[in-house]
Amino acid sequence: MAPSNTRTLRVLVTDDTALYRRMLSDALHGIPGIEVAGTSFDGDDCLAMMDKLKPDVITLDINMPRRDGLSTLREIRKRSPRTVVLMVSSATDESAEQTLEALRAGAVDMILKPSGHDFERNRRSLEEQLVAQMETIQGLIDQQEARGLPRRQVENQPIRDASELSRPARHGPYSCLSIGVSTGGPAALAAIVPHLPQDLSVPVFIVQHMPPLFTKSLADHLHHLSKIPVVEATHGMKAEPGRAYLAPGGKNMKLHRAAGACEIVISDDPQVSGCKPSVDYLLDSVASVYGASALTLILTGMGDDGLRGCRKLFQLGATVIAQSAETCVVYGMPRQIVENKLADEVLPLDGIASRLHELLKAKPWRA
């Protein structure tokens, strides 16, 4: 996993259950470039071990006695803001809500505890999740250390000058807004969706890479903050202007035009671009239903999900916006858009909401 020019990452495993401490440790031992520096059994023990071992990464259970994961995370951020924290969560409604709060509080991402009774299968499940996460974290740390930045802020490259973008941006009118996001998504979405106007004249479709239950909690949180309704999408919903639809975790979401109306289709189709829900899967249908009148936003996240769909939309004349490098938690998905010259605009996170206001204030496109 780790290139030869990167140093070994030292990981502190924190979980109140001995079985999961063992499984997480075993899974991490199987990943090249990773060293398990130690284990801890609750939040207070984690903080003591952190001070002693100085790990690069801490895996942090949500539900623990004495000091829970969220409280521990906040203390870690105070004591050692450069330490990367990866939450380990159970698939319950309560854990989902707490995990989302942790992601907003500075955890880089989360993995899901397997719920089966087969130890080896559970270990493999954890290892598959950890391999992807550790590869991302290794890249973040390498780049941050090269620039002397805090580890929760990453700058892979400067914003491209407007002259480097491939064409002048369209200015509408638009018929929909599509958003694709992964690592760092809950905080990014919270900086954008609540600022969409109450009289928004287009539907909003969102794909956030996240497991089941977590997307429902995320939709509920955004709904509470926003001027427009935000829901976890269900099969057969009619897409209406002024509403936001979040793809359910572990499912794919696409759009279908029927009798003049746009209908949401939720499917169990295979992964696309290694993801489910997939941004590419959604954008392929956005291109078919809305074509040049679509406005698409690619936010922070690892990998290249969204690249294929944005290329198709760009070729149709639709508008594509990418989040800028220095405001991404992980500059992966937006980087693919920028480097393939598919971005009409590259914007910092704090400038996206106001730009959307400008672009969407025109009357919606009527095909």
- Kindly give the interhelix angle for 93-104 and 214-225, rounded to the nearest 10 degrees: 60
Active-site residue numbers?
A: 182, 209, 305
- The per-residue pLDDT for 139 is 79
- The per-residue pLDDT for 142 is 72
Global pTM? 0.86
H/E stretch holding 207:
strand 204-208
- Where along the chain do the CATH 3.40.50.2300 domains lie? 9-147
Where b means 16+ CB within 10 Å and e means fewer, 4-27 reads eeeeebebbbbbbeeebbebbbeb
- The per-residue pLDDT for 242 is 96
- Where along the chain do the CATH 3.40.50.180 domains lie? 165-360
Q: Does domain 165-360 have CATH number 3.40.50.180?
A: yes
- The per-residue pLDDT for 156 is 37
Taking CA atoms, 242 is separated from 201, 205, 223, 239, 288, in Å, by 6, 11, 12, 9, 21
198 CB burial (10 A radius; 0-12, 13-18, 19+):
exposed
What is the CATH architecture assignment of 9-147?
Answer: 3-Layer(aba) Sandwich (3.40)
- The per-residue pLDDT for 167 is 58
pLDDT tens, the chain, 367 aa long: 444 456 899 999 999 999 999 999 999 998 999 999 999 999 999 999 999 999 999 999 998 988 999 999 999 999 999 899 999 988 787 888 899 999 989 999 999 988 778 888 888 888 889 998 998 888 778 766 665 544 444 333 334 444 455 555 566 689 999 999 999 999 999 999 999 999 999 999 999 999 888 999 999 999 999 999 999 999 999 999 999 999 999 999 999 998 888 999 999 999 999 999 999 999 999 999 999 999 999 999 989 999 999 999 999 999 999 999 999 988 999 999 999 999 999 999 999 999 999 999 845 444 3
